Structure 1
Amino acid sequence: MNKRRIEIMDTTLRDGEQTSGVSFSVSEKLTLAKLLLDELKVDRIEIASARVSEGELKAVQEITHWAAEKDYLDRVEILTFVDGGVSLQWMEKAGAKVQNLLTKGSLNHLTHQLKKTPEQHFEDISKTLQQASKQGIKTNVYLEDWSNGMRNSKGYVFQYLDFLTKQPVERILLPDTLGVLTHNETFEFLSQIIKRYPDIHFDFHGHNDYDLGVANVMEAIKAGCHGIHLTVNGMGERAGNAPMASVVAVINDFLPEVEIAVNESSLYKVSKLVSAFTGFGIPANKPIVGDNVFTQTAGIHADGDSKKDLYFNDLLPERFGRKRKYALGKTSGKANIQKNLQELGLTLNNEELKKVTQRIIELGDKKERVTKEDLPFIISDVLNSGGYQQKVFVKSYVLTHSKGLKPSTTVALEINGELHEAHAQGDGQYDAFMNALRKIYKSKKREFPKLTDYAVRIPPGSNSDALCETIISWDNNGKEFITRGLDSDQTVSAIKATEKMLNII
């Protein structure tokens, strides 16, 4: 079957930059332009609006200089305006060769914004197109508010398209400027136009105000559209544009009659870079590029994956340069933990696995986030706890730290079923806790070990907020030993390590 080739035009650097609070530097624009064309392999990029600023001009000059060396100039596009040739002069200075001319695609916009008749507007456009041809600049034409034009002034849209088909135009770009179309309307409107003008190249430019951007792009392609406009991470005005990653996956998986040039294995890398440059965070649940989309949380899912990939679909993370993860938390269960242990090269028997699972559930109930890198610490803490019979319990404590006052602690300690309380001050909360314990042990005429070393660490490579480990070395009448405590709170982890020491002695 001969596949129909669809052009992908990325407008992250132009429409995406219209995201509130986003502005790319010159070097960032150049870096992204190179990535989009060379690595992601989109067909075209729209990189700027003419006449915006000196910085914008500099960025375009840098990109066009690089593009000329790579023979990419015809793939670099600038948004321009019907302004008596001012935009075209700007383009000449910028070294750009393709303009995307913004014109009015609805009678409402034309009448109330430009206050012109269709004939006056067409005449102005004709002059701009003739001047562009003289300067060797190719033209694509945007019909701004085209979607509302088709809804409310279809006669004007067809009058305008009749005019454009006789002009020196490369492509006609049909935007759903306000993101108002349903998928049914997108298919219906584009089908009518493409049947009426079968020899013209039409692009669809979708916005995402109703979260229908991807669905509308899909219907635009089914209707026979020749090109689509996308942005990385769905950036753009208001709710943004149709998102690149989702659309690419949908085309590859659900439109077998269509082919695109985009290299989907680079989508995640480019997405992360755009996010870093803009400070525009990627929602964790965003399809394809979000942090959570290839993470199984429920233990039943991990169990099913182990048995016959029961919870896999065609969106395999490896397609996008990613890996499947199994989250650790209160719903993860033994199967998730086993998956993470396999990655670390660790094995536990059933009894050990139950203990580790229980500890992770406890952390999950405290809303703590556990990562794979935390597992060795949890295993060490849980399994080492079984080396003694617990007879000493730190039942409760109050830690205070106030400006101008020494830290203090009140401790309730149970030894062999007998409860003891003490209050003490110290140089810090843990020091106060230790002084309170010493009081109790002194009153009971019991030996109390000497603390010889104290270290705190977090699991190497962990980005978790769940755990820190406190390792304390003790000297008990010349016998040295170490205890460890694990908790999300540093002082509490030290108290847990100390409780273990009290049971050992």
Structure 2
Amino acid sequence: MNQPASAIEILDTTLRDGEQTHGVSFSPAEKTNIGKALLERVRVDRIEVASARVSRGEIEAVSGIIDWARGAGLADRVEVLGFVDHGKSVDWILKSGGRVINLLAKGSEKHCRHQLGKTLGEHLNDLRANIELAREKGLAVNLYLEDWSNGYRDSRGFVYRLMDGLADTGVGHFMLPDTLGVMTPEQVTAAMTDMIRRFPHLKFDFHPHNDYGLATANVIAAVQAGAAAVHCTINCLGERAGNASLAEVAVNLRDQLGLNPRIDETHLVQVGELVEHFSGKRTAHNAPIVGEDVFTQTAGIHADGDHKASLYHTRLSPERFARSRRYALGKLAGKASLLKNLERLDISLSEENQHKVLQRVIELGDSKKAITSDDLPFIIAEVLEGKDYTHVELLSCTVTSSLDLQSTASIRVRLQDEVLTAAGSGNGGFDAFTGALAKILKKKGLALPRLVDFEVRIPKGGRSDALTECIITWACETGEVRTRGVHYNQVFAAINATLRVLNLQIQGSLQQSRSIDPTA
């Protein structure tokens, strides 16, 4: 069954199922901000925001989202998972201001018998009573058939009888979950097609899990079979291997199926970063659509094709997502990769110097050094001048840290042609170092740029004596700049990254003054 171009709905369950990710717990304020972003900026059709009766803080979170949604005319798009509990979930949702309950039923005979200890008839009686109560109190009702995928496989008769017993209850959406992520796209197609043909007047949602890495493919199969709505989360959050990615689902619906979901793609990355920050779960750099590296070309032949005729561009362009294409520098880089990065940095080199710089890039890449466009000015300086920028050089440094005492740092620095010393204290060794450095810079009318982000990591599988990589993002006058420092001591890795941005800053000032006064 084919869907009309605008028929498919997307429900995002980041705030409910996504919060079942191990180690993730959103505060009420975080939930409100994510909910607003999903409905207002990303423009998903519906959001599922919590499970009823979880905690006192949860009702505060739901109330905050509902209060905002009511003012924006979106309260009917906010849904809460509820349980067969003699109306307790209904009352909890009403108290929060909610208007929609997603009632949890047992979609498999095994769950019904072994978890509830009830017959299908008994479970149906409980469900009908809860649905009737919810509707009498003004709530719209959707119904999850928990473990439907296994239930359909093991005992279709149970699923059919369950549906027959609920078809006349006024349920808006029957939600069919692949609770344990066990289905293939072919199985989803067959099962969804069967359900829709047997119950043509009912609306079915498909709720995937990604245990076999098939969540997005299964969503596409469900939509092709005629599902009215599909469920997903930001950044694939969810229990175990997570759910389907909202970004992947939205883009595939548009590009592969020719549908027109409401999703505003330009906000997908931004909201993904918001969820990443609040959840503490980092997104893989190669995650489709939202990963840091997915619009980076590494092979020189690809950069060459793009440089000549955009040969490696597809409909999946970075501009759709308010991003830009990048060309990696490393052992696989070619002349076109270098040219693309030089254009971005507005640097011109002769043919001879381009060749020298490219050879150095390949040499560094061959030694497994990670090279970014931010490194390129240093490589150019190394090739053309035989060294990195060394306007500032750390000659000696002592950093001490003690329990319940401030850290201290004493440094001796060469700043251009002058050797200066200073001491500082602070909340940790790096803070103490920057305090001491600030005193030296102030004497010369200089200052460090504002620190925006700070990341420290070691290689996977590393040991306690492994190299530490520190990446710092700075807010410079020309925009954000990232610098990297590597050292066995994480404080000194951060110090190296700091000296690097300071050298860049001074070099930029010198170049600017020379362009104004060529004799300078």
Q: Compute the TM-score of the two structures, normalised by the length of structure 2.
A: 0.76
Q: Residue deviations 1:17-64, cap 9 Å, x none? A: 100000111111101111100110001000000000111010001111
Q: Does residue 231 of the first structure (1) align with residue 250 of the second (2)?
A: no
Q: 1:3, CA displacement in angstroms? A: 2.3
Which amino acid is 2:484 matched to? D
Cα RMSD, aligned residues only = 2.9
Map of 1:367-382 to 2, 5 A cutoff?
367-382=368-383
Query: Equivalents in 1 of 2:134, 2:105: separation in Å?
Result: 15
Distance in 2 separating the partners of 1:139 and 1:247: 25
Cα distance in 2 for partners of 1:324, 1:453 equals 43
Q: Which residue of 2 aligns with 1:197?
A: 199
Aligned to 2:98: 96
1:14·1:48 contact (CA, 8 Å) conserved in 2?
yes
**Contact 1:467-1:489 at 8 Å conserved across structures:** no
- Name the aligned partner's letter for residue 343 of structure 1: R
Aligned partner of 1:109 in structure 2 is 111
Q: How far did residue 350 of structure 1 move?
A: 1.3
Query: Within 1, Cα distance between the matches of 2:498 and 2:327?
Result: 25
1:373 counterpart SS class: coil
The question of whether the paired residues in 1 share the 8 Å contact of 2:103 and 2:143 is answered with yes
Query: In 1, are the aligned partners of 2:145 and 2:175 still within 8 Å (CA)?
Result: yes
* C-alpha distance in 2 between matches for 1:132 and 1:15: 22
Q: Give the 3 Å change call, closer, same or farther, for CA 319–428 of structure 1 in structure 2.
A: closer
Does residue 268 in structure 1 map to residue 287 in structure 2? no
Deviations 1:268-290 (A, max 9, x none): 11111110111110001100000
Residues 400, 429 of structure 1: 8 Å contact kept: yes
Q: Which runs of 5+ in 2 are unaligned?
A: 388-394, 400-409, 421-439, 442-447, 449-471, 488-495, 504-520
Letter of the 1:94 counterpart: S
User: One-letter code of the match for 1:379?
Assistant: I
Which amino acid in the other structure matches residue 465 of structure 1? Answer: R
Q: Shift of the alpha carbon at 1:358?
A: 2.0
Q: Please name the residue that 1:499 is paired with.
A: none
Contact 1:370 1:464 in 2 (8 A): no
* Amino acid across the alignment from 1:35: A
Per-residue CA deviation, residues 192-227 of structure 1 (Å, 9 max, x unaligned), is 010111111110000000000011000000000000
Aligned twin of 2:482? 463
C-alpha distance in 1 between matches for 2:277 and 2:298: 26
Q: Figure out how many residues of one structure are paired with residues of the other and give that number.
A: 421
Q: Is this contact kept in 1: 2:398–2:411, CA < 8 A? A: no
Following superposition of structure 1 onto structure 2, how do residues 15-34 of structure 1 map, counting pairs within 5 Å? Answer: 15-34=17-36
Taking structure 1 as reference, are residues 224 and 294 closer, same or farther at Cα in structure 2, changes over 3 Å only?
Answer: same
Q: Which letter maps to 2:224?
A: K
| Secondary structure class of the residue paired with 1:5 | coil
Q: Does 1:254 align with 2:273?
A: no
More moved, 61-70 vs 184-193: 61-70
Alpha-carbon distance in structure 1 between the residues aligned to 2:413 and 2:234: 50
Structure-2 residue corresponding to 1:212: 214
Give the structure 2 partner of residue 7 of structure 1.
Answer: 9
Q: CA deviation at 1:452?
A: 4.0
Aligned to 1:24, the other structure's residue is in SS state: coil
Report the equivalent of 2:392: none
Equivalent pair of 2:209/2:215 in contact (CA under 8 Å): yes
Match of 2:121 in 1: 119
> 1:428-462 CA distances to partner (integer Å, 9 max, x unpaired)?
9999xxxxxxxxxxxxxxxxxx9645899999654
Change (3 A) 1:102 1:323: same
Residue 490 of structure 1, CA deviation: 8.2
Partners of 1:350 and 1:100 lie apart in 2 by: 65
In structure 2, the CA distance between the partners of 1:98 and 1:400, relative to structure 1 (3 Å rule), is closer
Contact 1:369-1:465 within 8 A present in 2 as well: no
What is the one-letter code of the residue matched to 1:233?
N
Secondary structure of 2:484's aligned partner: coil
Give the C-alpha shift of residue 70 in structure 1: 1.4
Cα offset, 1:177, TM superposition:
0.4
Q: Distance in 2 between matches of 1:363 and 1:3?
A: 50
Offset of 1:233 from its aligned partner? Answer: 0.5
Distance 1:298 1:5 in 2: 40
Q: Aligned-pair distance for 1:363?
A: 2.5
What's the offset of the Cα at 1:465? Answer: 2.5
Alignment map for 1:316-465 (pairs within 5 Å): 316-385=317-386, 452-453=418-419, 461-465=480-484
* TM-superposition CA deviations, 1:340-369 (whole Å, max 9, x none): 111122111111011111222232233322
User: Which residue of the partner structure matches residue 67 of structure 1?
Assistant: 69
Structure-2 change in CA distance of 1:9 and 1:367 (3 Å): same
SS in 1 for 2:23: coil
Contact in 1 for aligned 2:306/2:313 (Cα 8 Å):
yes
Please list every run of 5 or more consecutive structure 1 residues that lacks an aligned counterpart in the other structure: 387-398, 404-426, 432-449, 469-486, 495-505
Other-structure match for 1:128 = 130
User: Contact conserved, 1:104 with 1:143, CA < 8 A, in 2?
Assistant: yes
> Which amino acid in 1 is paired with 2:351?
N
